[in-house]
Amino acid sequence: MSDIPKADELFKSIDYNPPATGWMDTPVDFSPGNWCYPAKPEKMEYMESKLPGLWGPAREWNPGEADWKLPSNWKEIVVNGFRERLKKFRTLQVFMDICVRCGACADKCHFFIGSGDPKNMPVLRAELMRSVYRGEFTVAGKILSKLTGSRVMEEDVLKEWFIYFYQCTQCRRCSLYCPYGIDTAEMTMMARELMHLVGLNTNWIMEPVSNCNITGNHLGIQPHAFKDIVDFMVDDIEEVTGKRVKAPLNEKGHEILFITPSGDVFADPGIYTFMGYLMLFDEIGLDYTMSTYASEGGNFGSFTNNETMKKLNAKMYAEAERLGCKWILGGECGHMWRVVHQYMDTMTGDTQWSGMTTPKSPITGTVFETSAATKMLHITEFTADLMKHNKLKLDPSRNDHLRVTFHDSCNPARGMGLLDEPRYVIKNVCNNFFEMPVGTTREQTFCCAGGSGLNTDEIMEIRLRGGLPRGNALRYVQEKHGVNTMACICAIDRATLIPLADYWAPGVTITGTHELVANALIMEGESERTMDLRQEPLPGFEDAEDDWTPPNMEDA
């Protein structure tokens, strides 16, 4: 990260005036930092063995070099794949035809706001595909060529796709403002499917995909290691609360299967959110189990192609059946919920076993008809219902050292419409809650700039640029209200917002919503709490912990 400019330098470098050359004549910058590393060949070979014909040739290649080692018939593959998808997706077909280039989407994209690169305007990002559509599939485009924005598929075009469709986080903010609802996320997904067909991919997507298939989670945590980590967290909970909570894994005969993104198992600050789930479930005596086999909610397949998305999603129902669970509770995760909400039942609903029922809270008796088809409930819906029925004893003052704002994660916000439940949960456990400025929250929320498989360090400058709108809104509430904590309901957020906040609003910590819940939760028979889940002293107990070093500082 050493060569990344300082925040104010980066800000000054943003120029919204387009270059003098037309977009088709403006060359693409292939210098390192502008692209994600390609997948390791063994990851591609593995996926080719599981879903043949979708991945192109496994090989070592480098986007910075001229020869990308494409298959000799790459053009035929891409054009045929394009034609096939026009039939399979009305979205693609309609969105290719109806854009009027009014530009309403242009300054809605966080990558454009932070970079000024015109190809990051959603309209132009989509034109990268539309120009080929017109040139290859329409009569008018074939005759009139460049004048009407048409061109044929060439290697340079494909390379341009690689750069810019891996500079879209599929956050769908542009779609909200488009007069026709043109969804760039949908086009990014299609373009990525096509690129995968000829072996253009990134390791940060392919490795998680292959890991998810083998070990059940994207980090490749094997079952015994998964159990070890969970046991460590149970120990830590005991340290904080004096209570030893249950953390059932792979157990049959429970009512509920709980699935969360594996990012919550792996790293700060997700682990505290995970501890929050465990404490909550233990406190209410929930009859549930987790699974090491279905230990990933995040569906990295949705960043590759439909087939992989389906394959990875299918394990949720498969595991519910094997363990005999009646319904599934889902943790705080972004793209997992986009897939669960919009795709799951259509893709894999037929693999549900007959014992599944519409989610019903065993504590409050509330039946969640809104998830009658998928049988899958979002944890903030579940917890909000508990709070509404006063089933939890809470002490919000334990979070009094936190001044909290909430980051609407794009997928639950614009892909589901889940806006009020997490706020309700947070307000029940925190006394100091502040909204970021209007226009940057709820359905207009700004992306963390690391979604859809872009959460990788080699493109850090691009991510920080894309993080400008979110970071700036955060900085605003930091200054105005002294906000020091940003809560979210997405594991990718919990990973990517940290460098973003460090850069644009230093001093703000990132937390999951259920970490806040667990801090406030008064558990039956717990010992007096003097520290929060991060084992930092609670307000009023600062002195008692004077000689204690936080575990993550020991090596420093």
Partner 1 sequence: MNALYSLLFVFLLVLIPLFGVDAAHMRTFFGVCIPTTAFIIFLLGFVYKVITWGRSAVPFRIPTTGGQFKSFDPVLFPQNKLDCPQTGAQTFFRMVLEVFAFRSLFRNTAVSLHEGKDHPVVAYKSSKWLWLFAITFHYSFFIVALRHLRLFLEPIPFFVNGLEFVDGILQIGAPVMYLADVGLVAGVLLLLGRRLINSRINYISYASDFFPLFLILAVALSGIYMRYYAKVDVIAIKELTMGLVTFHYVVPETITVSFFVHVFLVSTLMVYFPFSKLMHFPGVFLSPTRNLPNDTRAKHHVNPWNDPKIKAHAYADYEKQFGVPMAEVGLPLDNPENGKAPEEEA
Interface of this chain with partner 1, residues 188 to 227, rule: CB under 8 A: 213-216, 222-224, 227
Q: Mark the segment that binds partner 1 (CB under 8 A) among 63-71, 341-349, 394-402, 454-462.
A: 341-349
* Residue 135 interacts with partner 1 (CB under 8 A): yes or no: no
**Binding of partner 1 by 400 (CB under 8 A):** no
- Least spacing, CB of residue 149 vs partner 1, in Å: 4
One of 57, 71, 118, 362 touching partner 1 (CB under 8 A): 118
Of 408-416, 426-434, 513-521, 534-542, which part binds partner 1 (CB under 8 A)?
408-416
Measured between alpha carbons, how far is residue 324 from residues 226, 234, 253, 363 in Å? Answer: 21, 25, 5, 20
**CB 541, min distance to partner 1, A:** 34
Q: Residue 417: CA atoms inside 13 Å, Cβ hemisphere, count?
A: 2
Residue 100 interacting with partner 1 (CB under 8 A): yes
Q: Please identify, among the stretches 37-45, 248-256, 267-275, 509-517, the one whose residues bind partner 1 according to the rule CB under 8 A.
A: 248-256
* Shortest distance (Å) from residue 107 CB to partner 1: 4
Query: Considering the complex, what minimum distance in angstroms separates the CB of residue 298 from partner 1?
Result: 15
C-alpha to C-alpha distance for 358 and 370, rounded to whole angstroms: 9
Q: Closest distance between partner 1 and the C-beta of residue 437, in Å?
A: 8
User: CA–CA separation, 38 vs 26, rounded Å?
Assistant: 24
Which letter does DSSP use for residue 511 in this model?
E
Angle between helices 203-215 and 306-323 (to 10 degrees): 30
Stretch binding partner 1 (CB under 8 A), from 349-357, 489-497, 519-527, 533-541: 349-357
Residue from 91, 203, 456, 509 that binds partner 1 (CB under 8 A)?
Answer: 91
Biggest distance spanned by C-alpha atoms of the chain = 79
* Closer to partner 1 by Cβ: residue 205 or 538: 205
Shortest distance, CB of residue 443 to partner 1, whole angstroms? 5
**Amino acid present at 144:** L
Spatial contact of 160 and 28, defined as CB atoms under 8 Å apart: yes
Tell me the backbone φ, ψ of residue 454, rounded to 5 degrees.
-105, 10
When the beta carbons of 346 and 397 are compared against partner 1, the nearer one is 346
Q: Is 507 in the site for partner 1 (CB under 8 A)?
A: no
Cβ contacts of 74-82, under 8 Å, gap ≥ 24:
74/155, 74/158, 74/198, 75/153, 75/154, 77/197, 77/198, 78/153, 78/158, 78/194, 78/197, 78/198, 79/136, 79/153, 81/193, 81/194, 81/197, 82/132, 82/133, 82/136, 82/137, 82/194
| Contact window for partner 1 (CB under 8 A) among 154-162, 262-270, 336-344, 450-458 | 336-344
Q: Which is nearer to partner 1, 38 or 451 (CB)?
A: 451
Choice between 376 and 462, CB closer to partner 1: 376
Q: From 192-200, 392-400, 465-473, 535-543, give the range in contact with partner 1 by CB under 8 A.
A: 465-473
Q: How far is the CB of 516 from partner 1 (least distance, A)?
A: 19
Place of tokens 């979070």: 399
Residues 350-379 contacting partner 1, CB under 8 A: 350-351, 366-374, 376
Choose among 462, 372, 374, 455: nearest CA to 409: 455
**H/E element holding 91?**
helix 90-98
Cα angle value 340/51/208 (rounded, 5°):
55
Q: Which residue type is seen at 94?
A: V
- Restricted to residues 296-335, the positions that interact with partner 1 (CB under 8 A) are 306-307, 310-312, 314-315, 317-319, 322
Short-list 207, 212, 273, CA closest to 491: 273
The verdict on 440 binding partner 1 (CB under 8 A) reads yes
Helix axes 203-215, 41-50, angle to 10 degrees: 50
Query: Between 188 and 519, whose beta carbon lies closer to partner 1?
Result: 188
Range 14-33, binding partner 1 (CB under 8 A): 14, 16-18, 22-23
Residue 201 vs 215, nearer CB to partner 1? 215
Site for partner 1 contains 553 (CB under 8 A): no
Determine, following the binding rule CB under 8 A, whether residue 77 of this chain makes contact with partner 1.
no
Which residue, 241 or 405, is less far from partner 1 as judged by CB?
405
Q: How far is the CB of 6 from partner 1 (least distance, A)?
A: 11
Shortest Cβ distance from residue 352 to partner 1 (Å)?
10
Instruction: Give the torsion through C-alpha atoms of 367, 370, 374, 378, to 10 deg.
Output: -80
Least distance from partner 1 to the Cβ atom of residue 341, Å? 5
CB of 78 or CB of 105, closer to partner 1: 105
At closest approach, how far in Å is the CB of 349 from partner 1? 6
Which burial class, exposed, middle or buried, applies to 90 when counting CB atoms under 10 A from its CB (0-12, 13-18, 19+)? exposed
Binding segment toward partner 1, per CB under 8 A, in 237-245, 384-392, 451-459, 509-517: 384-392
- Say which residues have a Cβ less than 8 Å from residue 94's Cβ, sequence separation at least 6: none
In whole angstroms, give the CA distance from residue 441 to residue 413: 9
Q: DSSP per residue over 164-217, as a string?
A: HHTS-----HHHHH-TT---HHHHHHHHHHHHHHTT---HHHHHHHHHHHHHSS
259 belongs to the binding site for partner 1 (CB under 8 A): no
| Least distance in angstroms from the C-beta of 513 to partner 1 | 15
φ/ψ of residue 203, rounded to 5? -65, -30
